[in-house]
A and B are shown apart, each in its own frame.
Chain A
Amino acid sequence: MKTPDDYLWDPASAPSKEAPEVSELEAQLARARWSGELPSLDDPAGSVTPDATAASHPSRIPMVGPVAWAFLAAAAAVITVTVWWPSSSGPGSGAEKPQQLARLDSPYTLEHVAGQLLVGPREASPIGTAGNGPQPWPAPGKSADATLAVGERITTGPDGRAVLHIDGLGTLELEADTALAILDPGGDGASADFEAPAASLLSLERGAVASPGAFQVFTPAGLSVDLGCIYRAEVTDAGTTRLAVTTGRVAFEGAGRRVFVPAGSAIEAEPGGAPSTPLRTDASTKLRTLVAQADRDGDLDAAATTSLLRAATPSDAITLVHLLHLPSAGPELFDYLRAIEPLPADTTREAALAGDPAAIESWSWRL
């Protein structure tokens, strides 16, 4: 039986009379169709823009399933930053060089939106102290769009708000009572804890930021990697990290567990502890309770697993895929998930049930 969407699937078939707009849109949009020729390959070096060249070094990252698509973006971004920095003050040398040198071509620009805003060297300005480090921003004699350098900390007051722009990566909005430090992307930290090198490495020490850019942000509880999205991260005075994603997805890793948080979901992580299993913000109380039990106990018995699957809906699949590693519940969850979306070709049942991050991410992209 023919349906109005048949032509959408197979343009060789006759356009549907019930959906004429498909062929009409197709005819109009064909004007924007790609029709270029492959340029000469003889001397590509002279034709490629620096960032396009720098963006193509996937060998630094294991290409594991769809995860690689997003991680490649982060990998390229850090290289882009490297390209833009002067050689005398590139990644790894920020601590030894005078801040003024590092500022020259820094990709970090701070926009003062409202209220109190202080900036100063991270080492010289412990959070919560005025000391001799942080100075009001913009400091006397500096323009409002002056750049920041690696090693500096931005602190907003109770009424303060600011926006950190990072060339080529995006922006990061700092809410009130927030302390955010700019770390050296080439230094210790991200690359040691995560497969992807840091795009632009930041440390959220207190407060909250909303990020629509490709950043890696340390919090006291772990590392969040923006995989092309908009999200809000909050760090409480106790160091608890709460992360909620509006669009796209974020990877968060702490204490050896990596979770992938898609749009409409959130996690929480305590310092030293693993991040919670991602839950949709509108997940049922029953589901939340059972997931919290699984996170706490490291497994669910048969009755709890049955309750979990009854409480879950297909849109909770992202939660369930993060529970596949549970020794008792995993196999039942696997069958449930497989009925929603077949296991990706690049992973195996064994890898999924072992909670392999690559397998979990690969499947989660399809759920």
Chain B
Amino acid sequence: MSEEAHTPGGAPWVAQVRAAQAGDRDAFRELYTRFAPMVHAVALGSVDSHAADDVTQDVFLGAWRSLADLREPGRFGGWLASMSKRRALRVATHSTRQRERTSGSASEVEATAGAAPLVATPTSAPTDTDSPTTEEILAQLAALPDALRLPLTLRLVEGLSGPEIATLLDRPPGSVRVNLHRGMQQLRERLGVATPAGRAASTRASARANSTTPTGVTEPPGPHRSQP
């Protein structure tokens, strides 16, 4: 995705939306390329990655079918995002209720496991004894406040840059940058990873301890766990 400046009031995809509304499939494919990561990222806030894939496909098929109803092409992104969130919540709620009603039936639980709603609390963060799995990290990501979760998901999962995220979400770049920073801080806390400042302080303290008590046992610089 090319980097585009924040364009308040004039989303760069308006012409593509209008063309797609007129039946231009190539224009819709371009919109798909641009917005699929966002739709997927929104869904990841409610369901796991497998179910999020299904939600993303469903949302775009539904969007193509009802695109003529969209009155403000500049709001295409918000329109898709609301569809994705609704669809993902529906999938999560349905699977939860299905599990509740069929508790004891292993086959049912297995059948709906992919759509499990993501629930994570700081206390459920992975321990230091093992590295968190991708789904565990996604669950911690999903537990962040809405305003922080989506930009950070777009950055870490979907691989977009900050300016690209600002354009896609039609948000001021400064605001996105702050939310990425705050989101990363909170994710570090949830995963038990030290902040850069904390690691630096720990390293300094360790160095001081080494210089004064050369025979003492030194601690590793912070709880940072390396991922493979």
Q: How far is the CA of A41 from the CA of B71 in the complex (A)?
A: 21
Surface stretch bound by A, among B60-68, B106-114, B208-216: B60-68
Q: Which residues of A (7-30) have their CB < 8 Å from a CB of B?
A: 8-12, 16, 18-22, 24-30
Residue pair B157, A30 in contact (C-beta under 8 Å): yes
Q: Determine whether B200 belongs to the interface, using a CB cutoff of 8 Å to chain A.
A: yes
Q: Determine whether A52 belongs to the interface, using a CB cutoff of 8 Å to chain B.
A: yes
Q: How far is the CA of A28 from the CA of B135 in the complex (A)?
A: 10
Contact of A48 with B58 at beta-carbon distance under 8 Å, contacts A41-B64, A346-B9, A366-B175 already known: yes
Q: How far is the CA of A36 from the CA of B52 in the complex (A)?
A: 11
- Per the CB 8 Å criterion, the residue count for chain A at the interface is 64
Contact of A32 with B86 at beta-carbon distance under 8 Å, contacts A25-B227, A170-B93 already known: no
Residue pair B138, A58 in contact (C-beta under 8 Å): no
Q: How far is the CA of A58 from the CA of B80 in the complex (A)?
A: 11
Residue pair A18, B196 in contact (C-beta under 8 Å): yes
Residue pair B172, A45 in contact (C-beta under 8 Å): no
Q: Determine whether B12 belongs to the interface, using a CB cutoff of 8 Å to chain A.
A: no
Q: Which residues of A (31-66) have their CB < 8 Å from a CB of B?
A: 31-34, 36, 38-39, 41, 44-45, 47-49, 51-53, 55-59, 63, 66
Instruction: Pick the residue among B25, B62, B75 that contacts A63 (CB under 8 A).
Output: B75
Surface stretch bound by B, among A72-80, A276-284, A327-335: A72-80
Residues of A within 8 A of B163 (CB): 10
Residue pair A58, B159 in contact (C-beta under 8 Å): no
Q: Determine whether B161 belongs to the interface, using a CB cutoff of 8 Å to chain A.
A: yes
Q: How far is the CA of A115 from the CA of B156 in the complex (A)?
A: 48
Instruction: Pick the residue among A22, A33, A69 that contacts B157 (CB under 8 A).
Output: A33
- Per the CB 8 Å criterion, the residue count for chain B at the interface is 76
Q: Mark B49-93, 1 if CB is under 8 A from A, else 0.
A: 100110011111111111001111001001101110111011001
Q: Determine whether A165 belongs to the interface, using a CB cutoff of 8 Å to chain B.
A: yes
Q: Determine whether A70 belongs to the interface, using a CB cutoff of 8 Å to chain B.
A: yes
Residue pair B158, A33 in contact (C-beta under 8 Å): yes
Residue pair A9, B162 in contact (C-beta under 8 Å): yes
Residues of B within 8 A of A38 (CB): 28-29, 32, 36, 60
In the assembled complex, the CB of A230 is this many whole angstroms from the nearest CB of chain B, namely 13
Contact of A69 with B61 at beta-carbon distance under 8 Å, contacts A9-B161, A33-B157 already known: no
Residue pair A53, B65 in contact (C-beta under 8 Å): yes
Instruction: Pick the residue among B29, B57, B62, B196 that contacts A16 (CB under 8 A).
Output: B196
Chain B residue nearest to A342 (CB atoms) is B172
Which B residues form the contact surface with A (CB < 8 A)?
8-9, 25, 28-29, 32, 36-37, 39-41, 44, 49, 52-53, 56-66, 69-72, 75, 78-79, 81-83, 85-87, 89-90, 93-94, 97, 134-135, 137-138, 141, 146, 155-159, 161-163, 170, 172, 175, 177, 180-181, 184, 187-188, 191, 193, 196, 199-200, 224, 226-228
Beyond A34-B41, A39-B61, A228-B85, 12 extra complex contacts between A and B, CB < 8 Å: A5-B184, A11-B161, A21-B191, A21-B193, A34-B52, A41-B28, A44-B64, A52-B61, A63-B78, A69-B82, A248-B146, A345-B8
Which A residues form the contact surface with B (CB < 8 A)?
4-5, 8-12, 16, 18-22, 24-34, 36, 38-39, 41, 44-45, 47-49, 51-53, 55-59, 63, 66, 68-70, 72-73, 76-77, 80, 165, 167-170, 228, 248, 341-342, 344-346, 366
> Which 8 residue pairs of A and B lie closest in terms of their CB atoms, listed nearest first?
A345-B8, A34-B40, A56-B66, A9-B162, A32-B49, A72-B82, A4-B196, A24-B227
